[in-house]
Amino acid sequence: MDTYQHQVKLLIVDDDPFIVEELSEFLSANGYPCVASQSTAHARELFDNDPQIGIVLCDLHMPEMDGISLVHELERIAGDGRPFEAIIFTGQAESRDVIAAMRAGVADFYQKPIDTDEVLIALKRLEQNLSKRLMDYQQLGQLNQKLQFLADSLNELHHDVHRMRGNFDKAPGNKAMPQEETVAPPFDQLSPRQLEVARLIGKGMTNYQISCELGITENTVKLYVSQVLRLTHMHNRTQLALALSPTAGPTTMRLTAH
């Protein structure tokens, strides 16, 4: 008897009440929390309402629905974000049943009468597989969130640059410069929106204040600040703020980096 308390919950499905009782008692005694059902309809309901169920053990031949069809139905209920493993039992195993079970993604296929010790060994292996799959799903979800955030930030930056490129000189507080007058290096490398963020840094504004002023997110402001520092070869925003402070020079920013 295994006294270790396993985290994964088992769903046992068989129309034979003796098998359900025998498996439930044996696996519970070995540390597995179990829920049991003698009908596929009830089994679907249990699985749908309990996300802790991670391994399903079911009979192949049942009155309402066969075990392989039940696994397919549980996959539909689980969707993409809830992996689970399945074991099927049968009293009459045929090659086509084994092939169908493999195609359905069933992990193990056992002949009745059931060898409970073999099942216990299989469960420990499937529990490890399930743990790895859950970790992969979590890492994939975190990666997708990061990629979505990056895509949103880049999309916002793209629209801001194009919107500001045409009307930057007409914005309130910015006088159009004569065509022959240009922004001196290293600030001539900046886009209109980058230049606007740089000027607001020169006024001593924080990233939060700049985001409110320009109507963009604070994370997008951080992205602009990083780009400005890289393009102007400034070491930090303090050096940049000093270079762009109102007392540092004319608005055309004829400056050199230190």
**Whether residues 121 and 15 fall in one domain:** yes
Residue that is last in its domain, among 89, 108, 141: 141
pTM above 0.75, yes or no: no
**Whether residues 222 and 105 fall in one domain:** no
Nearest residue to 89 via CA among 57, 118, 122, 63 = 57
**Whether residues 103 and 42 fall in one domain:** yes
Residue that is last in its domain, among 119, 141, 163: 141
Residue 133 lies in a domain: yes
Three-state SS sequence of the chain: CCCCCCCCEEEEECCCHHHHHHHHHHHHHCCCCEEEECCHHHHHHHHHHCCCEEEEEEECCCCCCCHHHHHHHHHHHHCCCCCCEEEEEECCCCHHHHHHHHHCCCCEEEECCCCHHHHHHHHHHHHHHHHHHHHHHHHHHHHHHHHHHHHHHHHHHHHHHHHHHHHHHHCCCCCCCCCCCCCCCCHHHCCHHHHHHHHHHHCCCCHHHHHHHHCCCHHHHHHHHHHHHHHHCCCCHHHHHHHHCCCCCCCCCCCCCC
Residue 237 lies in a domain: yes
Among 19-28, 174-183, 238-247, the least confident range: 174-183
**Whether residues 223 and 133 fall in one domain:** no
As beta bridge partners, residue 87 has: 57, 108
State the total domains in the chain. 2
Looking at the predicted structure, is the pLDDT value of residue 197 above 70? yes
**Whether residues 192 and 250 fall in one domain:** yes
CATH code, domain carrying 245:
1.10.10.10
Residue 60 lies in a domain: yes
Q: Which domain holds residue 205?
A: 182-258
Residue 153 lies in a domain: no
**Whether residues 126 and 199 fall in one domain:** no
| 111, 90 Cβ separation under 8 angstroms | yes
**Whether residues 135 and 188 fall in one domain:** no
**Whether residues 106 and 207 fall in one domain:** no
Residue 166 lies in a domain: no
**Whether residues 106 and 229 fall in one domain:** no
Residue that is last in its domain, among 141, 171, 201: 141
Looking at the predicted structure, is the pLDDT value of residue 225 above 70? yes
pLDDT in tens, 119-164: 999 999 999 888 887 776 666 666 666 677 767 666 666 665 555 5
